[in-house]
Each structure stands twice: as structure tokens, then as C-alpha cells.
Amino acid sequence: MAKPLTDQEKKKQISIRGLAGVESVADLKTNFNRHLHFTLVKDRNVATKRDYYFALANTVRDHLVGRWIRTQQHYYEKDPKRVYYLSLEFYMGRTLQNTMVNLGLENACDEAIYQLGLDMEELQDMEEDAGLGNGGLGRLAACFLDSMASLGLAAYGYGIRYEFGIFNQKLVNGWQVEEADDWLRYGNPWEKARPEYMRPVHFYGRVEHTNEGAQWVDTQMVLALPYDTPVPGYRNNIVNTMRLWSAKAPCDFNLKDFNVGGYIQAVLDRNLAENISRVLYPNDNFFEGKELRLKQEYFVVAATLQDILRRFKASKFGSTEFVRMDLSTLPDKVAIQLNDTHPALAIPELMRNLVDIEKLTWEKAWDIVVRTCAYTNHTVLPEALERWPVDLFHNLLPRHLEIIYEINQRHLERIAKLYPGDSDRLRRMSLIEEGDVKKINMAHLCIVGSHAVNGVARIHSEIIKNTVFKDFYEVDPQKFQNKTNGITPRRWLVMCNPGLAEVIAERIGEDYIRDLDQLRKLVKFVNDDAFIRDVAKIKQENKLKFAAHLEEQYKVKINPNSMFDVQVKRIHEYKRQLLNCLHIITLYNRIKKEPNKSWIPRTIMIGGKAAPGYHTAKMIIKLITSIGDIVNNDPVVGDRLKVLFLENYRVTLAEKVIPAADLSEQISTAGTEASGTGNMKFMLNGALTIGTMDGANVEMAEEAGEGNLFIFGMRVHDVEALDKKGYDAISYYNRIPELKKAMDQISGGFFSPSQPDLFKDLVNLLMHHDRFKVFADYEDYIKCQDKVSALYKNPKEWTKKVIHNIAGCGKFSSDRTISQYAKEIWGMEPNLGKIAAPDHLH
């Protein structure tokens, strides 16, 4: 009998990991040793694991550089239309393995590292996540960068290089505690500082109106220092750029106005200017109107627009002698996509550049701005919409306030002509909200200043047209579009789940990695016993691997034969982790009532961060951990039910847990989750979904067949009807005995014996002011969970549904999403061809 393959031999058999040619392996080893010696100045006998990681990262980075220079040269020569994706968040995670995948270097690097006597996974674990985002919005930006490069678009991601990204979450006695994320402590091998492209950014000051036009004077200046990170496409030799700005005080900062003897203090005060790029605001779906945040928003926009205009003027158009001066062609060469309203200041800032500096007429400038900019809306929750106090603007950005007033005046004149005498409509549609404090509605600014406005799933795009932006849709229906979100199959399948990627490739070839619609071909294998077995086997291996990871990292033992029921996402009332809690308690009570019945064992995992100032979300975490303390230590239950809170959920943990999940929980109140993207990751990785008809779940059910998802609960129209009637939580509490029992246990201190009233605020919330109607969906959710357990008893039928789901994933590739943005918003054509590799790589 042949001896079982080692992990290393198994990896080499995975064809999608690229070729490990003898020469390339030898070269990699040589370059690794060269970097260890010359870049890190280390001898092998004193090198640490971190040194080895940096040597490997630099070795892989070398393979990017030639392609990066070549790509940028190619853009300069061809002068294509360029797209600028502006986002305050880019949630990138780790870069090393993704780069190896996209360059086809994975097997060669594995073999080289193996021959050097090192462990690839240990080295990869030395890399810090680039956690420059909160959740969906920031991760979407990262997937979009991957797709734009893979589709050959001349694209640039522009954002802020936060010194501290999303906090690290620690659990102390079941409570969340935040720790600063010092991700740059050991240096970042993937970035290159570009001090030669430093730009000034101005704040404060006042406006002088002269014959020459408006002048913004007496400002305070901060420098924006760019750091470039390469973004490789999938095996097409294209490498685009993500440019993140860092704030730097100018040399003469606070020294101009010579305050006698204040030299030391002046140098120390440089920190004030440099605080702009210090830390990511950790709120997801919540607006916090702080001056520092507004500074961040203007900082990224002002620096980026200078870059865009410089590049537009300097790029070739058949000739090098001329600088392009005619700005009327800007929309033919530049598209600016606003990722939510956070970079909305691009609209008045571009106007300021065109009118005050380039001296265009208002009308001409406005036409250019609208044709250049487009806006993506990410939420309808009122507490998340940005509304900046006018006073803050007047102080920080006085010229931009004037420009916004002018935009608003012209906008309202147009509306008044269309709807004479309708003053209420003017009030609703104004960019300025009157009230105790006058506020600027940034979403209204974005809609008026853009030629395209899109939602991020079909149902969400309909909701914005029918509710929040209804007035704007009536006036400009042609502006409104849908672009259903997607995820990159490189990171979210090939990289995190190579076993599944390979068994798919064995059946339908590898082309699906660039054209995910080809997964449809798997439908014909839905009754193929060998394929069913392979898919189930990969899932079991992933579960064993994740169980081992949990045991190693957190010393918790779980039953790998139990159903892995997973809800990982930011903690928020609308995402209804509380509904999941009520199911856990109900399941616990049922097992206690009939301990001898044969229950389907479950390991329920919930993970996610709560914004530090969001008290309710922090209480939800404490409730989950408290339920776990009771359930996990009850001998009657044994390993038939375990409850785990996954600490410090982030991109890198998602890449481990998602391939191991059996059941994906997507249970927001219908009409509240704009799209969701975690839902798509679970679907692609062979989990089944239990969910409401919300966000992209609706389209997932359409693609895979509604019978292949576990859909429950109110639809949007039911929620609206219940709002009209009035939601009465107590009636459900009185009518449903299992719900009453669970709530009584929470309020009576069953899960917090030392502090019986610990959860009184949560109980009060659910009973008296629950905007998200947890109880209204409880009964259907429990019934639906019973169906889940019944199907899990039959592994073959379960796996058939899994295959239908994987086969229906094609639509949810970010390649499809980006192709639609390119054609329908940016006026660009995706290019699936390769460009030539640099000469020395032929």
C-alpha cells in the first residue's frame, strides 16, 4: 500500500497553484538568500521567523516590480480612460499569498521554502493584516481592486494610509476590549513611499472675492505623502496601483509665526497635523460627525484630485510636447467612483479646481464634474447617512461651503421650475437641512453632482428609488442603476479553499477562475456520486483544519462531526445576532427537555467587532459569551451543542472559517442589509444559507434555486405592513411559549447568575423598542432551523444542495460587478488579454 502523501506532495498536485519548474525554484532560493543577506542584513543562524517572512515577501515583490513599471508605462503610452476608486477604507488583509496566487508562483515558492527547510504557513502567519476597513464597504473596495486589475482596466484605488487600522478585539471576562492595531510596527514590504509626489492640502482660512474670482487665503497647510501598493491582476501581467496618503507637517509648521522660545513646542505640535492619518474611525453603518473625520475626508479628496489633474494634463495623447490644457475632455479620460458619501467632497473640490484655479465658467465646470463623478450608496439606515453641521464646514472648508450653497441654489431653482409652488419638495430635496443646527446632506450632494447613482443589490437599488431618494428618482430616473456586489474568486476560493478549487478544476478546467459563470457547468455533476463525495470530503478536511486551529489558538475543543453554524459580521442590531441567540437558547432548552432524543449536534460560532461606542452591540457580545458559559458547561448537553464567540474576526480569520462552515447565517430584517458579501463567500465555499429575503440573498436564491436556500421570515412588504399596523413585541412574547421561556431566562439571570439584571437593557430593547422586529421572525426562524437539522441528517441530499449553490455563484464574482461598472457607468471596456511580460521574464 502506497504511503499517504505529505502536505507538501499534496500541494504540488494542485495544478491551479502554478508550475514549480526547477529553474524558477532555484532562482527563488537564490533571491530569498540574497534578500536575507543584503536587504535584511541577517545571517541564516541569527535570522528569525519574521526575517524569513520579509525575505520571502521581498522575493515575491521582485516579481511584481517589472510588471508594475511595464503596466504604468503601457498606460502612459496608450492613454486609456482611467478610473479612480475613492474610498476611506480598503480592507486588504494579507498580501503575500494573494500575490503568489495571481502571479502563478504558489507551487514554486512552496517548493523553494520547503527545500530551504522552512514552513510556508508559519511564514505567512508572520504577516499583519492591512485592516484599513470596518467590514463590507472596505472589503468590497479590496475585491474591486483585484477585479479591475484582472480585467485590465487602468484603475487606481485612492485612500488613507492609517497608521492604526481597525482595532484588535480581545475578550476579557466575555466583554470586548479594544487594542490598537499597530500594523506597521515591523514595516510593510508591499508599500513604496513616493515623496516626489507629495501634495499640499489646505484647511481653515477665509475666502476673498476679487475681480480674479474667489481666493481661499490664510489657510493651514498639511502635506500628503503617497505610499503605493501594487495590485496584480490574475495571471495577465498587469499590476495596478493603490495609492494611500499619509499626513506630514511641512518643515515650517508653527515656526512661521515666531513664538519666542516656542521652537520645541512647535516641533512637538507637528503631531496635530499628522494626526489626520493616524487612525481609522471604527464605525460600521453609523455616522459620527467629528471634525477629525471631516479632515480625513477632505484630505484624501484634495490630494487625490491634484494627482488626477496632474496625470490628466501630463499623459500623452499622440505627442509629448504638449501639456493637455483643455479640461473639457476630462470626462472622456477620467472616471471617479465615490465609495459611499465619505469622499463626497470630491464634487465641490473638483468645482473649486475648475472654477477658482482653472478659471472655467460655472456651467462648463459643473458639466465636467457631473459627467466625471458617480456615487455608490451603501445603506438606507438613517443613522448611517452623513449630515455635516454647516458651522463645522464654515470653519474648516469655507470655500467649499460657498460652492455647496451655489450648487444647492441652482439645484433648487431647477426643482422649483419643475414643481412650481411645491415648497415641501424643495425642503425635502435641499442639500441643506434646516433645523436646530443646519446640516449638509452629503447623499443629496452626491446625487446632484453625479451622472450615476447605484445601489449594491437589486432589492436595495429598488428601495432607494422608492423611499430615501424617491424625489430625486422622479426628477432624474436615468441616473439610478443597480450594481449587485461581488467577491473576488481568487482570494475567496483559489487562495482560501484550494482543495475545493481543485476538485472543481478537475471537472470543468481552470478557466472558471477568470470567468466564474462557468461554475454553471457543475449542475450536470449534481447527481455524480464521485463529485458529491469529493465536495463532502473537502468540507470535512476544512472543518478538521479549522477545529485544529481553534484548539491551537484558543485551547477549545470542538466536535468536527457537528454542523458548523456560523454568523460572522460586524455586531449590529439590524444584523440580528440576537435572533441567533434566541435560537441557541431554544435549542438548549429542547435538549434539556428531551436529553435522550437523537439531536443533530451543532457548533454555533458567532464572531464580529462592535464599534467601541456602541453600547448595545457590546452587550450583545457579552450575552453570546454568557450563553456559551452556561451551554458549554452543561453535562446533559455534552457536545451536541457548543457556542463559540470567534475573537478578533478579520479578513485572515474569515479565510479560515468560511471554507469550514456548513451553515451561513444571513438573518437581517428584510430591507436593512444593502447587499452583504459574506453571504456570497459562504455560498462559493460550500455552505448552505439560512436567511431572510434581504440584500443579495434574494439574488442568491434566484441563481441557486430558492429551494436550495433556507429562506424564512418577513419580506420587505411584510415589514412595511407591520410598521403601518404597529409592531407589538409583547404579543409574540405572550403567544409563543418557547420565546417567552428564552426571554425569561435572559431577564431572570439564568445566563448571568452573579448579576441577574445584567441584560435588562437588551430585554427592554427587544420588548419595547426593537426597530428590527426580532420576535416577528422568531417562529419562522426556529421552524426553518428545524428543516436545516433534518436535511443535515442526510449528507448526500445536503451536498447536492451545496453543489447547486456553488453552481449558482457565477453572478457573484466581482469581475461581473466591475464589468458592469466599466460598461454602464465609466464608459470603459474590460480587456481579458494579457500584456507582455517584462523582457527578462520571457
Q: What is the mean pLDDT of the chain?
A: 95
- Interacting residues of 800 by C-beta distance below 8 A, sequence separation 6+: 526, 527, 532
Averaged pLDDT, 539-566? 95
Q: What is the 3-state secondary structure (H, E, C) of 533-589?
A: HHHHHHHHHHHHHHHHHHHHHHCCCCCCCCEEEEEECCCCHHHCHHHHHHHHHHHHH
Amino acid in the structure at residue 664: S
In tens, the pLDDT along 717-762 reads 999 999 999 999 999 999 999 999 999 999 999 999 999 999 999 9
Q: How far apart are CA 255 and CA 243, in angstroms?
A: 30
- Asked if 717 contacts 459 with a C-beta cutoff of 8 angstroms, the reply is no
Q: Which residue has the higher pLDDT, 203 or 324?
A: 203
- Asked if 457 contacts 680 with a C-beta cutoff of 8 angstroms, the reply is no
Q: Is residue 176 helix, strand or coil?
A: strand
Q: What is the dihedral of CA 503, 505, 508, 514, to 10 degrees?
A: 140
- Cβ–Cβ contacts within 10 Å for residue 510, how many? 16
What share of the chain has pLDDT > 90, as a percent? 91
Q: Which pLDDT band, with edges at 50, 70 and 90, does 1 fall under?
A: low
Answer yes or no: 575 catalytic.
yes
- Cβ–Cβ contacts within 10 Å for residue 470, how many? 12
CA atoms lying within 13 Å on the CB side of residue 759 = 30
Residue 230 vs residues 149, 408, 460, 660, 753: alpha-carbon distances, Å = 10, 39, 33, 30, 53
Averaged pLDDT, 254-267? 79
Q: Which pLDDT band, with edges at 50, 70 and 90, does 316 fall under?
A: low
Phi, psi of 777 (to 5 degrees): -105, 0
The confidence score (pLDDT) of residue 841 equals 47
Residue 621 has pLDDT above 80, yes or no: yes
The confidence score (pLDDT) of residue 702 equals 98
> 498-812 falls under which CATH superfamily?
Glycogen Phosphorylase B; (3.40.50.2000)
Catalytic residue among 61, 460, 491, 575: 575
Class of domain 79-93+129-486 as given by CATH = alpha beta
Averaged pLDDT, 179-200? 98
Helix residue ranges, H only, 419-528: 423-429, 442-448, 458-466, 470-475, 489, 498-508
The confidence score (pLDDT) of residue 19 equals 79
Place of cell 432624474: 476
Phi, psi of 643 (to 5 degrees): -125, 125
Answer yes or no: 81 catalytic.
no
Three cell numbers at 326?
A: 483643455
User: At 600, which helix (H) or strand (E)?
Assistant: none
How far separated are the first and last CA of the chain, in Å rounded?
43
- Asked if 730 contacts 838 with a C-beta cutoff of 8 angstroms, the reply is no
Three cell numbers at 818?
A: 466591475
The confidence score (pLDDT) of residue 21 equals 79
Three cell numbers at 4?
A: 499517504
The CA-based angle 431-432-434, given to 5 degrees, is 145
- Asked if 443 contacts 386 with a C-beta cutoff of 8 angstroms, the reply is yes
Q: How far apart are CA 182 and CA 166, in angstroms?
A: 10
Answer yes or no: 411 catalytic.
no
Nearest alpha-carbon partner for 200 in 226, 230, 167, 168: 226
Averaged pLDDT, 129-156? 98
The CA-based angle 591-667-759, given to 5 degrees, is 65
- Asked if 386 contacts 344 with a C-beta cutoff of 8 angstroms, the reply is yes
Averaged pLDDT, 161-181? 98
Three cell numbers at 116?
A: 530551504
Task: Indicate the pTM of the whole model.
Answer: 0.96
Q: Which pLDDT band, with edges at 50, 70 and 90, does 323 fall under?
A: low
The confidence score (pLDDT) of residue 591 equals 98
Phi, psi of 822 (to 5 degrees): -60, -50
Three cell numbers at 197?
A: 509626489
Catalytic residue among 99, 677, 692, 817: 677
Catalytic residue among 67, 199, 570, 773: 570
Three cell numbers at 366?
A: 459643473
Amino acid in the structure at residue 124: Q
In tens, the pLDDT along 367-418 reads 999 999 999 999 999 999 999 999 999 999 999 999 999 999 999 999 999 9
CA atoms lying within 13 Å on the CB side of residue 711 = 19
Q: How far apart are CA 269 and CA 257, in angstroms?
A: 13
Residue 318 has pLDDT above 50, yes or no: no
In tens, the pLDDT along 81-133 reads 999 999 999 999 999 999 999 999 999 999 999 999 999 999 999 999 999 99
What share of the chain has pLDDT > 70, as a percent? 96
- Interacting residues of 80 by C-beta distance below 8 A, sequence separation 6+: 154, 828
The confidence score (pLDDT) of residue 464 equals 98
Catalytic residue among 94, 378, 491, 801: 378
Q: Which pLDDT band, with edges at 50, 70 and 90, does 4 fall under?
A: low
Answer yes or no: 10 catalytic.
no
Would you kindly state where each structural domain of the chain is located, as residue ranges? 19-78+95-128, 79-93+129-486, 498-812
Answer yes or no: 677 catalytic.
yes
- Asked if 820 contacts 482 with a C-beta cutoff of 8 angstroms, the reply is no
Catalytic residue among 387, 400, 460, 569: 569
Averaged pLDDT, 615-637? 98
Q: How far apart are CA 814 and CA 557, in angstroms?
A: 36
Answer yes or no: 569 catalytic.
yes
In tens, the pLDDT along 449-484 reads 999 999 999 999 999 999 999 999 999 999 999 999
The reply to whether 498-812 shares the fold of 79-93+129-486 is yes
The confidence score (pLDDT) of residue 554 equals 86
